[in-house]
Amino acid sequence: MKVIFAGTPEFAATALKDLHEAGFDIPLVLTQPDRPAGRGMQLHASAVKQYAQQHGIEVLQPLSLRMDSKDPQRAAEAKAAHERLLATDYDVMVVAAYGLILPRSTLDIKPCINIHGSLLPRWRGAAPIHRAIEAGDDETGVTIMQMEEGLDTGPMLAIERTPIEAGDSTASLHDKLATLGGKMIVETLRKMQQQPLEAVPQPEAGVTYAAKIAKDEAALDFSQPALELGLKIRAFNPFPGACGQVDGVTIKIWAAEVIEADSKEAPGQVLAADAQHGIVVACGDGSLRLTELQKPGGKRLPAAEFIKGFPLEGKRFV
């Protein structure tokens, strides 16, 4: 089976690696253009591009696949990409976190199969892992589905569940789902080589949408319940990183524990900041014990180390 692969971040690179190591013929990879990153804002290749180049797989990086784009450059690149797809001998396109919309013209060439990091129809959209943690879901998983023009609405070929553990952040859950997705896409394609698979329509009930994460969501409002804030901290690790301000300084909060006991102090007030109790902050309901923090330009540190260089006793997060 010949597979064109379309994806961009590490989640997708894991699936590409698994397909390649399983022996599938991959004549072409699509990924997003190189983006500036880091302090120097140097152009960086996506994780998918890096893997493809390391293994001699041709890479195509159009700005868009929509030939009807009003932007002449995007339309021209989309047309060139479309012609390249038509000229390529392949059986199926596998898509994982590509980041570009596949128009009807692309979907009509050959079957397109998507690896999606949720239990569809829950958490359709751009940030299913973040939103599942933020919502306090007990479980999530991976769905392999046939692609159509709707947003993650296609019929399902395979679905597997995995629990969301109490200590899971988006970072840790991402890695679990990436591994699961890679395994599942290899199994699915191998089954397709043997016989056609039944595609099951998604249920109409239970649809939710995982909106893209905005940077301004990172600021914590300590008037909210500690339980909700704890979920946000886990959901926004590693991006965009939950934060609060103390004396005008923005402090990243990477990990915390929920304390159910209420305090009479105002939300955001630091109740304790010492080696014995850690950093405890009052919330609208309950309190949070902050366990890993980072000041601007500094390293991520355990609470006991952080307060040595940034005392918080008597301070208040706003």
More confident site: 1 or 263:
1
Mean pLDDT, residues 176-182: 98
Q: Is the domain of 132 the same as that of 107? A: yes
Burial code (b: 16+ CB inside 10 Å, e: under 16) for 60-72 equals bbbbbbbbebeee
pLDDT of residue 1: 95
* Range(s) of the domain holding residue 26: 2-210
Whether residue 39 is predicted with pLDDT greater than 90 in this model: the reply is no
Q: Return the half-sphere exposure (C-beta side, CA atoms, 13 A cut-off) of residue 203.
A: 10
As annotated, the binding site includes 118-121
Identify the domain boundary among 178, 210, 242: 210
Q: Is the domain of 199 the same as that of 273? A: no
Q: Is the domain of 67 the same as that of 118? A: yes
Question: Per-residue pLDDT tens for 237-261?
Answer: 999 999 999 999 999 999 999 998 8
In angstroms, the CA 235 to CA 258 distance is 15
Residue 202: pLDDT band with limits 50, 70, 90: very high
In angstroms, the CA 47 to CA 294 distance is 26
As annotated, the binding site for (6S)-5,6,7,8-tetrahydrofolate includes 118-121
Question: Per-residue pLDDT tens for 60-97?
Answer: 999 999 999 999 999 999 999 999 999 999 999 999 99
Identify the domain boundary among 194, 210, 226: 210
CATH number at residue 201: 3.40.50.170
Residue 133: pLDDT band with limits 50, 70, 90: very high
Q: Is the domain of 164 the same as that of 223? A: no
Identify the domain boundary among 154, 181, 210: 210
Question: Per-residue pLDDT tens for 184-195?
Answer: 999 999 999 999
Q: Is the domain of 148 the same as that of 43? A: yes
Is the preceding omega at residue 121 within 30 degrees of 0, hence cis?
yes
Whether residue 40 is predicted with pLDDT greater than 80 in this model: the reply is no
Whether residue 265 is predicted with pLDDT greater than 80 in this model: the reply is yes
